[in-house]
Amino acid sequence: MIHRFDRLLTELPPPSDYDPAGAAIVQELMGGKFGEMSTLMNYTFQSFNYRDRAKTRPFYDLIANIAAEEYGHIELVGHTIGAMLTDLNKTDDSPDITSELLQGLSAGNPHHFVNGGKGVLAQDSRGMPWTGDNVFSSGDLVSDLTHNFFLESGARSGKLRVYESVDHPSARALTGYLLVRGGVHQVAYARALENLTGADLSKLFPTPRIPTDKIPECKPHIERGDHARIYRFSPSDFTQIAAVFNGTHPETGDPLEVVDDDPESRPRPQDPDPQPDVFAPDYAPEEIEEIADKLREQAGLPKRDKGE
């Protein structure tokens, strides 16, 4: 089971420029074949289907625990697209539907506006829905791990291309973080395979070559050590990861380590402004606010909860 915290894995910049065209590109990182929904669901289904756990637990723990991190990645992509579709000038009661809504329709993905509340969709950058066909779970551990290495490699290539094609600060912060974390997962699956079979996948497939140390949005995460660290997302389980995630990082030489995650140290998600032109959260948000205030009062709760 999953225990959810109202936290994000990393800090994202607040909404700034309204960028529907950029947001449509970032959708690839959510619902694309190599997007975060794919990594999340691949490792989740592989963990469901994993057999003979007691005897081979380190590999099970690695896959199941990385699945938990991937949930945090889909959250980050969602918040990024929400920020890029937040029009800071669109908070009054008189939505100017003819200008910016039409700009969004023509520049980006119409579903962001027509069927969504300027939020993320379970689609790729073409507007194609994410599909379970993207899940590979063969039951054969070596096949699954090899697939996962390939999936992380493809995912990082995609992130780099999104980084290069979208200069919005939210998209850059997102891809900077995900490039570093995807690198860790690449190393993790490569180490698992090397420990299991002796094959060095990072020598066999030395791609993608991504100079993360030269990418400004990657730097703070590398300086913190996040390029060589698996966080354990459970208070008491998945304790055997270190048996496979060990040795040194193939690019930096830093020791690979497993660290217990501290959710309280992670930042709170932002609270994006209402967007009345798409009735999100309502054509008149203050009506819902009033109702929520009354309900809180009746329940004896504090009046406004900023999530702190």
Which is nearer to Mn ion, 150 or 282 (by Cβ)? 150
| CB of 88 vs Mn ion, minimal distance in Å | 29
Q: What is the DSSP letter of 268?
A: P
State the residue for tokens 């009506």: 287
| CB of 256 vs Mn ion, minimal distance in Å | 15
| CB of 159 vs Mn ion, minimal distance in Å | 9
Long-range contacts of 152-155, Cβ-Cβ distance < 8 Å, separation of 24 or more:
152/39, 152/182, 152/185, 152/186, 152/189, 153/186, 153/205, 153/207, 153/208, 154/33, 154/34, 155/34, 155/35, 155/36, 155/38, 155/39, 155/182
Question: What is the spatial distance between Cα 184 and Cα 300, in angstroms, rounded to a whole number?
Answer: 45
Contacting positions for Mn ion (CB under 5 A) = 36, 39, 70, 73, 182, 185
| CB of 46 vs Mn ion, minimal distance in Å | 13
Question: What is the spatial distance between Cα 214 and Cα 21, in angstroms, rounded to a whole number?
Answer: 26
Which is nearer to Mn ion, 39 or 153 (by Cβ)? 39
| CB of 49 vs Mn ion, minimal distance in Å | 19
Which is nearer to Mn ion, 176 or 182 (by Cβ)? 182
Which is nearer to Mn ion, 73 or 229 (by Cβ)? 73
* Residue-wise DSSP of 146-174: HHHHHHHHHHHHHHHHHHHH---HHHHHH
Which is nearer to Mn ion, 36 or 261 (by Cβ)? 36
